[in-house]
Chains A and B, each alone.
Chain A
Amino acid sequence: MKPNIFVKDRVAVVGAGITLFRRRLLETPRELAWEAASMALESAGLTLRDIDCIVIGSAPDAFDGVHMKGEYLADGSGGVFKPTVRVYVGGGTGVFVPIAAWWHVASGHCDTVLAVAEEKMSPAHPHPQGVFAYIWDPILERPLGPNLIWIFALEMRRYMHKCGVKKETIAKVSVKNKRNALDHPAAQAAARITVEDVLKSEVLVWPVQRLDISPVSDGAAALVLARENVARRVTDSPVWVEGVGFTLDNTHWYNRELAYPRYVNYAARMAYKMAGIERPWKEIDVAEPYDPFDYKELHHIEGLMLARPCEAPKLLEEGWFDRSGELPTSPSGGLLGVGNPIAAAGLMKVAELFWQLRYEAGARQVKKPVHLGVAQAWGDLMQAGTVIVLGN
């Protein structure tokens, strides 16, 4: 380990909570935030009174249909009359929430932070996809009427071409994650499906088919983070934040090699450097790469340097990434299986590492012993990369 001498306090995750992920929940966004926050506090054995600062994460206001969601979510997240911020880097927000919580504590500013991520996508009609329409360049792209799947179809096609990957192989990510999600109590899209099912599902934008994509969801997740002396007082098994990394690429996504996610790689290198990890493919025991599309998990595994470029599909075929494999990925069930309430989905991945590293994941617990885990999310047009490394 190479400790960073500029960081004042070591930071641990001491509690986690999650709501159900569903297509449409009765709860208001504030109530979802409250449910996840209360669960996280209870799991840490703390009350709101013990919390110094609040970090809220939520993707566009236009999903929930409430302007300034950070302020709106403040009471549900426990942020009234406390130092409270909302962070937002598109889909990367979920992993950015614990990163922001980390620096709140590491700076010495707060002893304890409640970190809450919420998303309610169901209010936007006719479809929440409409919210994404505004990420395009209004002059060069919007006149063509693009939607998000177009771009990922292009990226997927490029990855398949460059790495010589078949759709049959990529479909196995969806099969694996949806199967893993059968053991997740919050899961929305858990299923026992076959590669056949994926290949026979409706073609949306070739080569992207219905079962290649994560669903639209409502939900929230929360973590409690604390500085070392507090963490050691409240738990025997703190899970340490070993490294954090975040970068932005350019939104001009057509000026780059689509087959390799540099926005993830740069963030990963930053996090590994801080964590003193030199060979992530050997040192990381469990990973939660961002998987809104099945090929994206493979793409991100390579960006996270858990496999060489174009090597992830081969390892997938060998069962390397299964729960019983050498390097289990998305043991939670991921976005494909648990669901994709944007910011909450990213934080769900970090919460899964917390449970895995405490051996509290129950039926989802990976076979091998675990010491270090990495979670990652990506945001906007293959632009924002957020990475966190946790260890026990």
Chain B
Amino acid sequence: MAMWGKDPRVSVRYPGRMEVEKYVYTPGLHGLELAKALKEGRLIGTRCGDTIYFPPTTFCPDHAMGEPVEIKGPWIVEAYTVVREDSSSRRLDKPVVIAYITPLDAEGGLIHYVEASEEEIAPGIEVEPVFAPPEKRKGTIRDILYFKVKNSAQE
């Protein structure tokens, strides 16, 4: 509590340092399956009865064990945004398009980069994942480099 009438400026400081330098997470049971699939350039979800969920989970909403199942899309942009400044308020040379993308063959979706111009990107358009070359895949979500707009810019 500040004392009224006293100079509130601080002349002594007590430095503190976070002693946990980093975290190392384990992928979990479903995460291990997903990592394997990503390395193979595939995406998997979880079948719980009649419903398929993406991203995969080990357990279903009723706590029964789920079953891994391949997700093939098509992938639809549900919502998007364009990032113009990074977290340190620095202007980006090239705006980054981020989208919430859902597969039509499952409940749920994911957030990822979309390689598209601001004119191209729109809710409802179809996109598809572009994977890193097999030798560069590490079993993480970044094995998908980005999603690209389907039908346009297709070589």
Listed in ascending order, the chain A residues whose CB lies under 8 Å from chain B are 24-28, 30-31, 34, 37-38, 41, 47-49, 62, 65, 75-76, 78, 80, 122-126, 128-131, 133, 138-139, 142-143
Q: Is the CB of A126 within 8 A of B21?
A: yes
Q: Does B61 contact A (CB under 8 A)?
A: yes
Q: In the complex the two chains form, what is the Cα distance from A262 to B28 in whole Å?
A: 41
Given the contacts A28-B31, A124-B20, A131-B20, A65 and B25 also touching, CB distance less than 8 Å = yes
Classify the secondary structure of B's interface with A: loop
Listed in ascending order, the chain B residues whose CB lies under 8 Å from chain A are 14, 16, 18-32, 57-59, 61-63
Q: Is the CB of A123 within 8 A of B16?
A: no
Can you list 20 A-B pairs, Cβ within 8 angstroms, ordered by A? A26-B26, A26-B27, A26-B28, A27-B29, A28-B26, A28-B27, A31-B29, A31-B58, A37-B63, A48-B63, A65-B25, A76-B59, A123-B26, A125-B20, A129-B19, A130-B18, A130-B19, A130-B20, A133-B19, A143-B14
**Could you say which of B22, B24, B59, B61 has the most chain A C-beta atoms within 10 Å of its C-beta?**
B59
Q: Is the CB of A125 within 8 A of B26?
A: no
**Which chain B residues border A34 with CB–CB below 8 Å?**
58-59, 63
Given the contacts A48-B62, A139-B14, A125 and B21 also touching, CB distance less than 8 Å = yes
Q: Is the CB of A124 within 8 A of B26?
A: no
Q: Is the CB of A125 within 8 A of B14?
A: no
Q: In the complex the two chains form, what is the Cα distance from A267 to B120 in whole Å?
A: 65
**Which chain A residues border B16 with CB–CB below 8 Å?**
138, 142
Given the contacts A62-B20, A130-B19, A142-B16, A47 and B62 also touching, CB distance less than 8 Å = yes
Identity of the chain A residue whose Cβ is nearest the Cβ of B30 in the assembled complex: A31
**Which chain A residues border B19 with CB–CB below 8 Å?**
129-131, 133
Q: In the complex the two chains form, what is the Cα distance from A142 to B23 in whole Å?
A: 23
